[in-house]
Structure 1
């Protein structure tokens, strides 16, 4: 199963190829995607992406995770989350969201087992 291409990104709107829904923030993995609802884990820009935000994507069998911090990189990624990913043996790339989507799509096109969590505003 391959990771789906993110077909478009603009402020507050992301579309994933093969999915009829559009997202403000999203999670993607080999074979699927869904909205990333920060309320599920109490996530805010600070302290940022929590291990609980990425656990679902890790369970989908990824080897690499791309995190999009927002268009202005307002979303933080604390060392606790990076340490958690390292302990799980997952390579992680943390980038501004537009660059993160480009990197994710490149890796997906190469057939990598890549997942992502992306914030499409601030």
Structure 2
């Protein structure tokens, strides 16, 4: 399995990902990633990250998922999303974006990890 791309920079409104470029929000997984378009599944700060956002991460072989909460911790995660991950036997971490990036980058060294990263509020 190909490794997950590392995040090389994070600041308000910008996340740089190796070999993928810069963007505001990212959906990353083993072997690649893409811009995270919240409109695709109707994600909003509240009620938060929807279960529909997770399928692609699992389909790409992730055994660990890191969900960022935004720089100001405004992004929530729906309980249904956490339940889906738990039922799939996936280790999940939620954290403020900079902390989530640090954890994700550490996990990329040894595990098939995926994550959703939000660079603002």
**Residue 48 of structure 2 aligns with which residue?**
48
Consecutive unaligned residues in structure 1, runs of 5 or more: none
**Residue 85 of structure 1 aligns with which residue?**
85
TM-score (norm 1): 0.95
Question: Retained in 1: the 8 A contact 2:14–2:22?
Answer: yes
- Write the deviation string for residues 83-122 of structure 1: whole angstroms up to 9, x where unpaired: 011111111000000000000000102x211000011100
Aligned: 1:12 with 2:20: no
Mapped partners of 2:63, 2:82: distance in 1: 14
TM-score (norm 2): 0.96
**Residue 2 of structure 1 aligns with which residue?**
3
Question: Retained in 1: the 8 A contact 2:51–2:78?
Answer: no
**Residue 118 of structure 1 aligns with which residue?**
117
Q: Secondary structure at the match of 1:76?
A: coil
Aligned: 1:104 with 2:73: no
Question: Retained in 1: the 8 A contact 2:63–2:91?
Answer: yes
Consecutive unaligned residues in structure 2, runs of 5 or more: none
Q: Secondary structure at the match of 2:116?
A: strand
Q: Which runs of 4+ in 1 moved over 4 A?
A: none
1:53 to partner: Cα distance: 1.0
What CA RMSD, in Å, does the superposition of the two structures yield over aligned residues?
Answer: 0.8
Q: Secondary structure at the match of 1:101?
A: helix
